[in-house]
Structure 1
Amino acid sequence: MTINFSTIKDIDIKQLENLYNDVGWFAYTQDLKVLKQAVLQSLDVISAWDNDKLVGLIRVVGDELTIMYIQDILILNAYQNKGIASELLQQMLIKYNNVRQKVLLTEEASDVRHFYEKNGFESCDQGSLVAFAKMN
């Protein structure tokens, strides 16, 4: 299996729908026009491809100078645990190395915590930071 990476934001909506639905992120696929626009308006997007099949994606929002917020990082279930998510994350972290704040909000699960900690993130409940969120 050879995975190729792309920074093209204009990804076919059916490919996006398949990826988001496969990982159970159905809130994103309720309105595909909004999902497509959100991807296009992201600060940056790196996608992972197995030939012409979208298998993963990371997208960030922010100002490119002081904050980078990792909005989405997702991999098709059949492609998980193959290092693709780590590669996507590392590519983005290298690209925005000079940005001071690199932030993400995710669900609590041991495998999720392990993934981000092994990639250099510190949970706010473990360090000196505090995090707040308001979800609709």
Structure 2
Amino acid sequence: MTINLTARQSPLNFNAMPAIEYRHNFPLPVADVAAVFDASGIRRPTRDLARIERMFANADLNLSAWHEGQLVGVCRALTDFSYCCYLSDLAVAKAYQNQGIGHELIARVRAAISDEVALILLSAPEAMAYYPKIGFEKIENGFIIKRSR
């Protein structure tokens, strides 16, 4: 199935759109996830569908947003449900951004992990201004060993 999440003939009228449906740990077609990643602007290895499939198969939490049966947003997290949770992916197709979908996906992660679990993420440089707007605090005490591929 081919999904085109970027081409629109006319501006979207979000007031007339049916509500977004959210799903928790729902099986996601890997090609649809790759399409959302590409349509969102997030950089992920979308040509390597086997890798994308492993990313979601091995996550503890997968939240998804759907509009009229079409996947439009994904959120993937790794957690112990006791102390910490790493928010690894948050992607919403650009045609659906600025409608609160990303914020709602994060709210659903927070509800699943409880308030005793810290939610941690690494932000892409272009998304640094987004996360403080939805309640994240910037931290300076982190370290990384970057992937080699």
TM-score by length of 1: 0.86
- What is the RMSD computed on CA atoms of the aligned residues? 1.6
Change (3 A) 1:108 1:84: same
Q: Aligned pairs, how many? A: 130
Equivalent residue, structure 2, for 1:75: 92
Matched, 1:56 2:73: yes
Matched, 1:133 2:144: yes
CA shift for structure 1 position 24: 3.5
Equivalent residue, structure 1, for 2:103: 86
Q: Is the contact made by 1:44 and 1:61 (CA closer than 8 Å) also made in structure 2?
A: yes
SS in 1 for 2:32: helix
Q: Is the contact made by 2:77 and 2:87 (CA closer than 8 Å) also made in structure 1?
A: yes
Give deviations 1:71-124, integer Å, cap 9, x for gaps: 000000100001100011111112212343211001234xx3342112221101
Matched, 1:122 2:133: no
Letter in 2 for 1:116: Y
Name the structure with the higher helix share.
Answer: 1
**Where does structure 2 lack aligned partners over 5 or more consecutive residues?**
1-16
Q: 1:40 aligns with which of 48, 57, 65?
A: 57
Give deviations 1:21-45, integer Å, cap 9, x for gaps: 2124454213101111211210101
Change (3 A) 1:31 1:119: same
TM-score by length of 2: 0.79
Q: Is the contact made by 1:60 and 1:72 (CA closer than 8 Å) also made in structure 2?
A: yes
Larger radius of gyration: 2
Percent of residue pairs identical: 25
